[in-house]
Chain A
Amino acid sequence: MSDDNLFELKAVAKRFKKGKETISIFDDLNMTIKRGDFLAIMGPSGSGKTTLLNLLGGVDQPTGGEIVFDGARIDGLSEGDLAKWRANNIGFIFQFYNLMPMLNAAKNVELPLLLTSLSSKQRQQRVDTALQLVGLADRAKHMPSEMSGGQLQRVAIARAVVSDPKLLLCDEPTGDLDRQTADEILEMLQLLNREFGKTIIMVTHDPAAARHATHTLHLDKGQFVGKDEPELQEKSA
């Protein structure tokens, strides 16, 4: 595996049992994701986008093949080891933000840091920095119920980056936002990719959102059916 590769999927299969029937999502999926990529994955409903994101995020396990992250296989890890792996390497950004409604913005952002050995003061500094990065330093004490959709997603981004993970996994991050707010969020992701070197994988239905990525893969019936090159991305952006 090249040092440039962050993720490598080799002959990955994912099948579900539904009664007596076995449903195959992927049979022989192969892909490579390079460090610093901003990859958009598009495809119709049922194409396997979310399943792929779950496999890459270590919240689901393949039924066959290998998933190699940063040179080490993760497909055989136990649930406990996967939780630690996720805490150390992955930041999640969800369509509906998935913030804890009973915690204010700062406390939400702090959650991943509770899994580290940082002191309370160090955590506070990280939280302040993350909130400044997303432009919400003045909203630290605000509850989720007091914020707009765009602000909520920015808090979610702050939570995703606060522990400085290598990879951000975004599941329809702009699916619940208006166009202008969606663009602001996507520009923020671009900033994280370009300025901070974060590798980003984003599942989306929205071609306008995908144009913010450096590559787009099209998935249909468990197979990649097309790829937009960076040049094309830039032209259409």
Chain B
Amino acid sequence: MNTSIHKPLFFIGLTVFLAISATALGQVAEGEIRYLVVHDWVKRMAALDYVSAREREQAAYMWGNRSEWKEYMRFYFSPQRSRYEESDEKAEVEWVGYAWRKEPLLFYRDFERQRMFDIVKAEGRLYLIEDSLHCPQWKVLNDLKEVAGYVCMNAVWEDSLKGHRVEVWFALDLPVPAGPEDLCGLPGLILEANYNNGAMIITADRIDLRPLKAELELPKTKVKGKKVSLKEYREVVRKYVAEQKKAEKPWFWGLRY
């Protein structure tokens, strides 16, 4: 696999710039981000090539203008670590005044030790994934765009597991290889991610640079779930997607997108 070759290189590159950013920069590449996540289930349907065109067209015709819902996610980052989880803030104003049970969710990355720790629900079951860090294989493109006050460059990841095409915009000025969800491994912090042409769009809408303390510790969790390696978890996902594909049903109601 390519990744095994890239890993040491990636690690070197990382340490080089970590050293630089820590010393020469002097500025804080550490803080909290609020990401706005816009989900669109009709666009998710549209991205499923195995569901009949008739069904996808019908979903678009009936729901195309109201298939969106929004939520906020909270993200802490430093050049060494990142932590992504559900926010207490509600993006849908209609939902203010009601407190749902939050789904246990965590994407924790330790770039120093090259470790990851995730809590994700799949098929209604909770998985605790602990493994060495694995980041997507990025294709870096040349386009420039501003996100939340930062000039960003774009990169693309084609994920064969769920069939995603994820286009991200990473900040040249924030030298942190982190990002929302399980996205990481770019020379700048990922401030925007667009899954499958709008099926899910994650955008940094508030960036607060400040030194962090306990926020970046691995949270002590009482969550009960099945402990698995990344490989085992990916196998669970692969099987479920294949099953749903065979039944020509959307897989995304049973898995995190």
Task: Decide whether A and B assemble into one complex.
Answer: no
